[in-house]
Amino acid sequence: MIIWLAQQNTVRVKNNIWIGLSGGTVFPLLAFLLVRFTDLELHFLPEKPMATYTIAVLINLIFLRFAYRSENDQVGKGIIIVTFLAMVLYLITHKVTV
């Protein structure tokens, strides 16, 4: 009975790339705003300037896993695109050599 109720009340996300693009933008944008407008990074991780962005990417990878496990391939593709573009933008703006 409990399993049946839990399965019936699941949240379904529409399998749309635009949902993945907008959802994947949240945490990289939040990381950028935290680094740019607060001193949070200097207090917690002063010797690792890329840590906040790395945490944002890891959160996106967790959401990516949930998207693919629930068979929302288009949402997963949107999350991958935004995560990749955010990291490329970070590398370009901070002049990091690879």
Question: What pLDDT digit, counting tens, does each position of 12-60 carry?
Answer: 778 889 999 999 999 999 998 988 888 877 787 778 878 888 999 999 9
pTM score, two decimals? 0.78
* Residue type (1 letter), 4: W
Rounded to 5°, angle at Cα 73 from 67 and 77: 90
Residue 2 pLDDT class (50, 70, 90 cuts): very low
Domain ranges of the chain: 14-93
Q: What is the pLDDT of residue 7?
A: 55
CA distance 92 to 80: 18
